[in-house]
Amino acid sequence: MVAIMNATETNATEINPEWVVWSEKLPGGAYWHGVIPRWQTLRITDLAGSQGVAMICYNAERPMERLNVADTAKIQFNAFLHQGQVLYSDMGRVLFSITADTANGHDLICGCSTTESNRAKYGVGEYNKFGQNDFNNSRDQFLKALGKWGMCRRDLMPNVNFFSRVTVTPTGGLQYMSESANPGAYVDLRAEMNVLVVISNCPHVLHPAPHYRPQPVQLTGWRSPAPTADDPCRTANEEAIRGFVNTDSWWAQRPLAPGYIL
């Protein structure tokens, strides 16, 4: 394991190799799950023009606490995530800070793809001997991953869609903005507690491509510097300050769950 470096710039395009703990390419249509420790950063990089990357996340030590996309939008008065914002839990604490972002929008509105939405858009794919369909969808991917952590359908909640910008038209419709897909773009998520993450690399439900061709993304976990007193995410506004007070207070008092190993 590599010690946290005393870096002065966490938004650099290149990550010092000495900071990297792990790195993995996630193919299109696949999913990933794991724990990002407090103050480690997860970088998600669009390698080839993403069709959308869906993510849900939980307090790894107390999974009943989980991402709340409605509060994330409401508290920050913005449904379009970007650098300097945070992802809130349903307990008013902060799961992730967005410390860097070179993409052109991340969606909090549309939820994720399902068997039904894929069938309506792409038709019926072929099934293999394991009953797996060519056209993987994010809802099923989420449920598969949650099952490995002792959770089930009741633990599923609305998700974030990275590299996907959706706007609301004057008549109330939803419009997908294709310029969100930029090869080489990335988003950095600094964990503010130990965060259980599930990522599904399946196309956004509104992506306009008529064919199912999700592209690979790179996932990199790196030991970013601990936030300073003037950290932009922690001092963005009064609501953010209060969220971090709640988070740091819980962290200082928390008992680790029985049998939890980090």
Residue 182 in domain: yes
What is the per-residue pLDDT across 231-256, written as a single tens digit (0 to 9) for each?
999 999 999 999 999 999 999 988 76
Q: CA 8 to CA 256: how far, in whole Å?
A: 31
Over range 157-186, report the average pLDDT.
Answer: 88
Which residue range forms the structural domain that includes residue 124?
29-252
Residue 148 in domain: yes
Instruction: Report whether 140 contacts 117 (CB < 8 A).
Output: no
Q: CA 101 to CA 104: how far, in whole Å?
A: 8
Residue 10 in domain: no
Residue 133 in domain: yes
HEC string of 181-217?
Answer: CCCCCEEEEEECCCEEEEEECCCCCCCCCCCCCCCCE
Total domain count, the chain: 1
What is the per-residue pLDDT across 174-218, written as a single tens digit (0 to 9) for each?
988 876 668 999 999 999 999 999 999 999 999 998 889 999 999
Over range 66-76, report the average pLDDT.
Answer: 95
Residue 8 in domain: no
